[in-house]
Amino acid sequence: MQFYTYQYLLDNQTKFPYTRIIVITVLAVTFIALLIRYFWDKGDVKYKDLAVIVGTMLILTAAIQFNDYTNLKTSTQKSGQEVSLVKDVARRLKIKPQKLSVNSTQTDSGDILVKSPHGYYRIIFNLNYSP
């Protein structure tokens, strides 16, 4: 069984795909340049076709980025709940949160196992997900 440390949970909250933002920016600049070139050359069809292709790629990449962003936002919120759970368990066990590990990165998966220097603990949630 895999356990996740407190530091991993904190680091997991800050992941963001910056490379896709760079790709979207490059596609947008290319799209604008192709449109300018199309109007500059008085309607040369090859620039219009290239602009349509790049525009389609831009829309597709932006839609994928938006979907990933909403998924990341939801995952970050759930991971934040797990971080606060680890802090609460550490406070109750009177140890530092860095010494604890959990078997899940999200609290909605049901029961959670906590690994500490003193042994393993099982956290059972109520219907409203409070331990």
Q: Would you say residue 73 lies in a domain?
A: yes
Q: Which amino acid is at 131?
A: P
- Angle made by CA atoms 85, 91, 96, in degrees to the nearest 5: 95
Q: Would you say residue 51 lies in a domain?
A: yes
Global pTM reads: 0.60
Q: Would you say residue 49 lies in a domain?
A: yes
pLDDT band at 29 (very low <50, low <70, confident <90, very high): very high
Q: Would you say residue 128 lies in a domain?
A: no
Number of H helices, E strands in the chain: 3, 4
- Note the pLDDT of residue 81: 74
Quote the number of domains for the chain: 1
Residues 6+ apart with CB under 8 A from 53: none
* Stretch 94-110: mean pLDDT: 78
Rg (the chain; Cα; Å)? 24
Q: Would you say residue 131 lies in a domain?
A: no
Q: Would you say residue 130 lies in a domain?
A: no
Q: Which amino acid is at 87?
A: K
- Note the pLDDT of residue 13: 61
Could you give the percent of the chain with pLDDT greater than 90?
23
Q: Would you say residue 129 lies in a domain?
A: no
pLDDT band at 128 (very low <50, low <70, confident <90, very high): low
Q: Is the pLDDT of residue 28 over 90?
A: yes
* Stretch 32-61: mean pLDDT: 91
Structural domain for 23, as ranges: 4-123
- Note the pLDDT of residue 45: 87
